[in-house]
């Protein structure tokens, strides 16, 4: 066979491949859960997968007479892999919905697919504002950065703080927190100085030194969760805790998953977030207990609750559609409202984004363990970036 024949074969292949198509009926309701199970974001994947499995264990695996099947796939946190897996789930496994999405770029890479294939896509972790605008099939059950950072800026201003320095890691979520906190805080009469830390940064001392020079009322920090503990230790080591500078942040830095390992340096840190494992409600007590029992005592964090509620939205939606997917399922999920372990929440029927309470919490010791104890509530917050 000569090379020319090869090329011919290729051309023929091209033609044939494009005319063929497949369509198969579906029996079970399959939900594809795409999560980073390996790599630097493993903890996100573990928490969400555990919560989703817990939800199914609690609520059964049958909806409208059909069996619900969960297919968990690892995307290692790499966007083109996420997209490929989503595509495979849609075309090969014929899933009714895809869910998961640990990071913003992973969700954004997949969004066009959801539109193209009319597959509902439930975002359980990624938090950048624009995500839900990228496809009419996206529903979010995690959080939106502006939803947390914006109201927090207002709350901080109301506490009488005049000057805040923000230190955020130089990547998408960090920029979001910086922007929304700063804008709202300034609109409420505050003064802000912004600092950005490179993603690969072992030593925070130059940044903390700048903060010490500046002597603000508070320091708002947003860094990836593993690094947060280091930041807090160096904050304390520099004696900044005693200098009257309050350490504040979004709840990501006092993540329930690692709060205990951070240790006492975290005591007194004030954060805003949508979920704390210490949230005082019967729903949450049951959830935390069941989660710990099923996972070797692992404490659920905000990722877990995003996964749990994501499954709830899908279940409730599927019940309404009798197991049908597509646009009907998205429609069915719009406007859903329920009492989640995090508190009351709903899916905005216009933006398909989440509406929930934002809680102001302080790290305290409860029964020998560190918890984010909620002491103020900002109820029913919509994503301000979409509330035009």
The residues in 3-22 that bind other proteins, with binding defined as CB under 8 A, are 3, 6, 9-10, 13-14, 16-18, 20-22
Nearer to other proteins, 105 or 251 (CB): 105
Query: In this complex, which beta carbon is closest to other proteins, that of residue 37 or of residue 148?
Result: 37
| Position 52 contacts other proteins (CB under 8 A) | no
80 is an interface residue for other proteins by CB under 8 A: yes
Q: Which stretch binds other proteins (CB under 8 A): 140-148, 257-265, 271-279, 304-312?
A: 257-265
Residues near 215 by Cβ (< 8 Å), separated by ≥ 6? 243, 244, 245
Instruction: Say if CB 258 and CB 269 are below 8 A apart.
Output: no
- The token pair at 11 is 């051309």
Q: Which residues pair with 270 in a beta bridge?
A: 248, 362
User: Binder to other proteins among 28, 69, 154, 234 (CB under 8 A)?
Assistant: 234
**Applying CB under 8 A, which of residues 25, 213, 297, 368 lies at the interface with other proteins?**
213
Residue of 188, 230, 281, 346 interacting with other proteins (CB under 8 A): 230
Smallest gap from Cβ 378 to other proteins, in A, equals 26
The yes or no reply on residue 388 touching other proteins (CB under 8 A) is: no
Per-residue contact track with other proteins, 337 to 366, x per CB under 8 A?
A: ------------------------------
Residues forming a β-bridge with 62 = 67
Phi and psi at 4, nearest 5°, equal -65, -40
Task: List the interface residues with other proteins, window 141-180 (CB under 8 A).
Answer: 170-173, 175
Q: Is 198 in the site for other proteins (CB under 8 A)?
A: yes
Residue 250 tokens read as 């979004």
User: Diameter of the chain by CA atoms?
Assistant: 81
Q: Taking a C-beta distance cutoff of 8 angstroms, is the pair 166, 173 a contact?
A: no
Site map 85..124 versus other proteins, x via CB under 8 A: --xx-xxx-----------xx--xx-xxx--xx-------
Q: Which of 56, 69, 136, 233 binds other proteins (CB under 8 A)?
A: 233
Question: Binding other proteins by CB under 8 A: which of 193, 316, 331, 364?
Answer: 193
Q: How far is the CB of 87 from other proteins (least distance, A)?
A: 5
Sign of the torsion formed by the C-alpha atoms of 8, 14, 15 and 20: positive
Tell me the closest approach of the beta carbon of residue 209 to other proteins, in angstroms.
6
* Vertex 255 angle, CA 149 and 239, to 5°: 80
Please, what is the Cα angle at 58 between 55 and 62, to 5 degrees? Answer: 85
Burial class for 188, CB neighbours closer than 10 Å (0-12, 13-18, 19+): middle
Backbone angles phi, psi at 74, to 5 degrees: -95, 125
Size of the site for other proteins (CB under 8 A): 83
Spatial separation of the C-alpha atoms in residues 308 and 312, rounded to whole Å? 6
Residue 10: partners with Cβ closer than 8 Å, 6 or more residues away:
none
- Would you mind telling me the total number of residues written for the chain in this entry? 388
- Whether residue 99 contacts residue 121, with contact meaning beta carbons closer than 8 Å, is answered with yes
- Closer to other proteins by Cβ: residue 227 or 285: 227
Identify which range of 193-201, 328-336, 346-354, 367-375 contacts other proteins by CB under 8 A.
193-201
Say which residue the tokens 């539109």 belong to.
Answer: 115
283 binds other proteins per the rule CB under 8 A: no
Query: Among the candidate windows 73-81, 278-286, 343-351, 370-378, which touches other proteins by CB under 8 A?
Result: 73-81
Q: Are strands 337-340 and 191-197 parallel, antiparallel or unpaired?
A: unpaired
Residue 41 CB, nearest approach to other proteins (Å): 10
């Amino acid at each position: 066979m000569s090379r020319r024949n090869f090329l011919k074969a290729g051309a023929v292949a091209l033609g044939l491949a494009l005319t063929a198509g497949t369509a198969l009926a579906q029996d079970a309701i399959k939900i594809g859960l795409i999560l980073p199970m390996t790599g630097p974001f493993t903890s996100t994947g573990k928490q969400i997968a555990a919560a989703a499995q817990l939800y199914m264990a609690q609520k059964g695996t049958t909806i409208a007479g059909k069996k619900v099947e969960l297919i968990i796939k690892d995307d290692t946190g790499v966007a083109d892999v996420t997209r490929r897996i989503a595509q495979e789930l849609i075309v090969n496994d014929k899933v009714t919905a895809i869910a998961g999405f640990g990071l913003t770029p992973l969700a954004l890479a997949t969004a066009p697919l959801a539109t193209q294939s009319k597959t509902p896509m439930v975002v359980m972790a990624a938090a950048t504002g624009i995500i839900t605008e990228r496809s009419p099939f996206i529903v979010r059950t995690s959080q939106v950065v502006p939803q947390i950072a914006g109201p927090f800026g207002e709350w901080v201003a109301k506490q009488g703080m005049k000057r805040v320095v923000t230190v955020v890691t130089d990547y998408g979520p960090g920029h979001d927190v910086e922007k929304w906190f700063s804008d709202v805080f300034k609109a409420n009469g505050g003064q802000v100085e912004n600092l950005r830390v490179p993603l690969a940064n072992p030593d925070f001392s130059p940044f903390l030194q700048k903060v010490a020079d500046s002597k603000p009322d508070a320091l708002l920090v947003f860094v990836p969760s593993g690094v947060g503990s280091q930041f807090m230790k160096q904050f304390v080591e520099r004696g900044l805790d005693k200098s009257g500078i309050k350490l504040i942040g979004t709840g990501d830095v006092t993540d329930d998953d690692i709060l205990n390992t951070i240790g006492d340096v975290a005591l007194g840190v004030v954060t805003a977030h949508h979920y704390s494992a210490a949230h005082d409600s019967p729903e949450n007590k049951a959830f935390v207990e069941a989660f710990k029992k099923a996972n070797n005592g692992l404490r659920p964090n905000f990722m877990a609750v995003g996964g749990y509620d994501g499954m709830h939205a899908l279940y409730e939606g599927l019940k309404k559609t009798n197991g049908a997917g597509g646009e009907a399922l998205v429609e069915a999920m719009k406007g859903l409202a329920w009492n989640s372990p995090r508190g009351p929440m709903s899916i905005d029927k216009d933006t398909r984004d989440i509406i929930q309470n934002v809680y102001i919490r302080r790290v305290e010791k409860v029964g020998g363990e560190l918890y984010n104890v909620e002491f103020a509530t900002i109820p029913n917050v919509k994503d301000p970036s979409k509330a035009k």
